[in-house]
Structure 1
Amino acid sequence: MVESAATAITEIALELHKQPDTDRTVQAVAEFATALVGADHAGVMLVHGRKRVEIAATTGPVVDRADQLQLELDEGPCLSAIEAGATFVITDTRSEPRWPRWCHEVNQLGIGSVLSIRLATDESKVGALNLYADTVDRFGDPDDIVVGQILAQHASIALDSARKLDNLHEAVDGRTVIGQAQGILMERFDLHPDQAFAVLRRYSQQTNTRLGEIARKLVATRELPNWGQ
């Protein structure tokens, strides 16, 4: 199975890198993983900063609820995969002792077995991939785990790259809108660039509002905020 999946994984890796942003990339990861490993459902959680975890993509309402339960109960194989940097297999949610509350709840959803694999690069902790099956012992074949882990490696690189590109675009957009706001202030009040930037920064500090947000409001309304409010 591993050898036959190698070509498919290579093609999937190329497709992941073609996605235009993180949202599209993470959704593609969930969908490709479901088909490649033969799971019934899949979901991806991403880590932001050091601790905040979000449900980034799912293949349907069953996963929406299963992943949300992990966050609500603060337990589950996906969270453990992120924390421990490892892969976890649940062969039967009816008898799994490691996450008893979560397993009880997802068994009621019709989930029988689970494969959770960390997503990470050498530089960063990306998140985790959850694969769900409606039957028990679906992921008992070691090849399933190997294929899932190989896919996860490619997915981690693609997601890390997509997130860095999104951050770069956001930074560029932020600088652009700040420049536009400076231009409005310079024209209206005959200010130099440094003076216009100082006005934006002062209002940002006084209102405890991000500089980029101040600039966006000014560009959108072309009106200065009421400094007295």
Structure 2
Amino acid sequence: MNDSIARAIAHAANRMSETATVEETLEVIVRSAAEALPHFDHVGIGTKDGEEPMQTRAASSDLVRQLDDIQNTVGQGPCLESLQGTEVIVAPHIHHEQRWPKYVPSAVAIGLQAQLAVRLHLDASGTMGGLNLYSTSRDQIAADDITTAALFATHAAVALGKAHEVESLSHAVATRQLIGQAIGILMHQYSLDEKSAQAFLWRASSTSNVKVRDIAERILAEANRAGAST
């Protein structure tokens, strides 16, 4: 790997580490990948939850979404394979490709010439997504591009994992604050001590099979409506 590519990846890693939310991180990953891998014309990130279709979470162009949609529709393609656990899928001269007979004709028809898909994962988190690189201007994929994409994906997975942790922590803090407000309202409305109000909230969640956070939101919303009407 030459020095310019190494500098590009280092710069990309710094940019990714400065983001706050998962969505911001995904957008920065796509933009940075486009800069670090200029031989690819279109870049996207897909994620998949269980049996649900792949979601295009960030894309450098509409063509990415079109190609991802084709793979979802026919149920095959490099992106889906990366999300199922294959580390790197290399598909140069894709018009000759035999691995995805339902995908290739439609993809070639809208301009695809080569494709590279790389799994984003951390050991503790499993597959987090797939980095999808599409070329519409050349049908070859250089060995250096494969190496660069794999290294870039490692940095991207670390940044994405950090963003998920921060977002989960922020969500947990917000949930605790919301529940605390709801307990305070119950204490005031029904002259309960904190322990009894908390037990009331947990029983309501258990008997109704509704999350505690959702019940707390309802209590807060009702209190706000009552306050607004007085």
TM-score (norm 2): 0.89
Matched with 1:134 is 136
Q: Does the 8 Å contact 2:59/2:65 carry over to 1?
A: yes
The residue type equivalent to 1:164 in the other structure is: E
Q: Does residue 168 in structure 1 map to residue 176 in structure 2?
A: no
- Structure 1 range deviating more: 87-96 or 183-192: 87-96
Q: Is the 8 A contact 1:2 1:143 kept in 2?
A: no
TM-score normalised over the length of structure 1? 0.89
Poorly superposed stretches of 4+, deviation over 4 Å: 50-53
Amino acid at match of 1:190: S
Secondary structure of the structure 2 residue equivalent to 1:191: coil
Segments of 5+ residues of structure 1 without an aligned counterpart are: 225-229
Equivalent position of 1:205 in the other structure = 206
Q: Is the 8 A contact 2:83 2:129 kept in 1?
A: yes
Deviation at 1:31, TM superposition (A): 1.3
CA–CA separation in structure 2 for the residues paired with 1:126 and 1:25 = 13
Q: Can you list the C-alpha shifts for 1:28-49, whole angstroms capped at 9, x where unaligned?
A: 111111121112111112355x
Give me the whole-angstrom Cα distance separating, in 1, the residues matched to 2:222 and 2:63.
43
> Equivalents in 2 of 1:207, 1:223: separation in Å?
22
Is 1:28 equivalent to 2:28 in the alignment? yes
1:131-181 per-position Cα deviation (integer Å, ceiling 9, x unaligned): 011134242x10011111111110010001111111111111111101111
Matches within 5 A, 1:145-156: 145-156=146-157
Superposition deviation, residue 51 in structure 1: 6.2
Distance 1:30 1:18, change over 3 A: same
Alpha-carbon distance in 1 for matches of 2:180, 2:20: 26
Q: What's the CA shift string for 1:169-214, capped at 9, x where partnerless?
A: 1111111101111111111111122222222223223333221111
Paired-residue identity, %: 30
Distance 1:51 1:160, change over 3 A: farther
Q: Distance in 2 between matches of 1:31 and 1:95?
A: 29
After superposition, residues 67-82 of structure 1 pair within 5 angstroms as: 67-82=68-83
Measured after TM superposition, the shift of residue 86 of structure 1 is 1.5
Once the two structures are TM-superposed, the CA of residue 78 in structure 1 deviates from its matched residue by 1.4
Q: Write out aligned runs for 1:105-116 (5 A).
A: 105-116=106-117
Partner of 1:4: 4
Over the residues paired in the alignment, what is the CA RMSD in angstroms?
1.9
CA contact (8 A) 2:20 2:166 kept: no
Q: Which amino acid counterpart does residue 91 of structure 1 have in structure 2? A: P
How many residues matched? 222
Alignment of 1:113-128 (within 5 A): 113-124=114-125, 125-128=127-130
Structure 2 residue 216 is matched with structure 1 residue 215: yes
